[in-house]
Amino acid sequence: MPERMSAARYREMVTGGTSSEPVAQGPAQPDAKNGPICQPVFAEYVLTMKPFSLNNAYQNLPARRVKNRIVPGGRVKTAEYKAWVEAATRQLSRQMEYQIFGPYRLVIRVGRQQSRADIDNLIKPISDALVSIGATADDRKMIGVDIAYTTERNDTLIWVIRDQT
């Protein structure tokens, strides 16, 4: 079994140093495809509220009749999910310093005391909140996720890491 890596060690590995500040050199120059050429390697966010499980994010609506027309049913976001994304957006937007353009990876560490949900059900709500604040342009650009529970934290630590390959 591989050895677990501490957040500080991972940050050091990603940034090439011990600084927690994202690495960016020189002025940002626009690039039509990927945004600024010189941009941070990663952005860090801390979410203190309990992560939302995808199991409770959507509901199925049956088809219904409206003014002699049948309106098809379908899957829609629940009011609770919309409220969670809005609250997470308010909390994360105060922390946003950098936008990551192009392909990126998410690293998420969830405090075990915060949630006991299936860990894979926590990815989409967190990703939706990051897109809603503009931290990433589109969650379709996400190319990987590293998510784990941790006993070292009581909150949720999120890193958005620009892909450098």
- Residue 17 sits in a domain whose CATH number is 3.30.1330.70
CB count in 10 Å sphere of residue 56 = 14
Would residue 37 count as lying in a domain? yes
Q: What is the torsional sign of CA 30, 34, 37, 43?
A: positive
Residue found under tokens 């709500």: 125
Would residue 144 count as lying in a domain? yes
- Owning domain of residue 152: 7-162
CA-CA distance, 117 to 126, in Å (whole number)? 14
What residues form DSSP beta bridges with 43?
160
Would residue 22 count as lying in a domain? yes
Nearest to 105 by CA among 141, 73, 132: 141
How do beta strands 74-77 and 58-61 pair? antiparallel
Domain count, the chain: 1
Would residue 83 count as lying in a domain? yes
Residue found under tokens 């829609």: 76
Q: Which has the minimum average pLDDT: 25-29, 66-70, 88-92, 130-134? A: 25-29
Would residue 54 count as lying in a domain? yes
- pTM here is 0.70
Q: Which tens digits make up the pLDDT trace of 37-59?
A: 456 788 999 999 988 999 889 99
At residue 28, does pLDDT exceed 80?
no
Q: Which has the minimum average pLDDT: 54-58, 59-63, 71-75? A: 71-75
Helices (H) and strands (E) in the chain, counts: 3, 8
What is the predicted pLDDT for the residue at 44? 92
Would residue 59 count as lying in a domain? yes
Would residue 1 count as lying in a domain? no
Would residue 2 count as lying in a domain? no
